[in-house]
Amino acid sequence: MRRKDKEILDSEVLHSVINQATVCRIGLVKEDRPYVIPLSFGFDGSNIYFHSARSGEKVEILKVNNHVCLEFEQDISIIEGEKPCDWSARYLTVVVHGRAELVEEFVDKKYGLGQIAEHYQVSGEQYPFTAEEIRPVLVYKVTIEEIVGKISG
């Protein structure tokens, strides 16, 4: 990271940004073209989970190249200045590099979907996924290889 003064190394802060994010963006590469989309996700403190339909561009890319980049953010705002060159931004971001693996075992898929549901649930109760709900979806587990945070403002 170029600006070491803005780098976040504390894993508690990094995990907090991930846990408080409502969406993450996944970056993939198909041949020489980047592809970025927002995702709902779950995080168990070690791995990040996301789900998908059984087909689509994301699925096709991951079959060929499972290297991913995930971005999480919170507290984003613009800090206005007197002139445009004086403007700045306030933010707290986390970027994760890793590999997305398709989760195949039923118990592991249920766990991954449970992490996603838990991330968005307000009630705190674990949703009891049925086999009929789990079977038609794909679940991916991202193994984190690198995680870095940045704060400004």
| Helix%, strand%, coil% for the chain, nearest 5 | 30, 45, 25
Decide if 43 contacts 18 (C-beta within 8 A): yes
- φ, ψ of residue 148 in degrees (nearest 5): -145, 145
- Res 54 pLDDT > 90: yes
**Could you tell me the pTM of the whole model?**
0.90
Query: pLDDT by residue (tens digit) across 76-107?
Result: 777 778 887 878 777 789 999 999 999 999 99
pLDDT for the residue 88: 73
Give me the domains of the chain, ranges plus CATH numbers: 4-152 (2.30.110.10)
**Closest to 56 (Cα-Cα) out of 84, 28, 75:** 28
**Closest to 88 (Cα-Cα) out of 21, 3, 1:** 3
Burial 87-117 (b: 16+ CB within 10 A, else e): eeeebbbbbbebebeebeeeeebbbbbbbbb
pLDDT for the residue 122: 62
Decide if 7 contacts 83 (C-beta within 8 A): no
Q: What average pLDDT does the segment 64-77 reach?
A: 92
Q: What average pLDDT does the segment 67-71 reach?
A: 98
The alpha carbon dihedral of 111, 115, 118, 120 has a sign of: negative
pLDDT for the residue 93: 92
Query: pLDDT by residue (tens digit) across 9-51?
Result: 889 999 999 999 999 999 999 999 999 999 999 999 999 999 9
pLDDT for the residue 23: 93
Which amino acid type is present at position 55? S
Report which DSSP code applies to 1. -
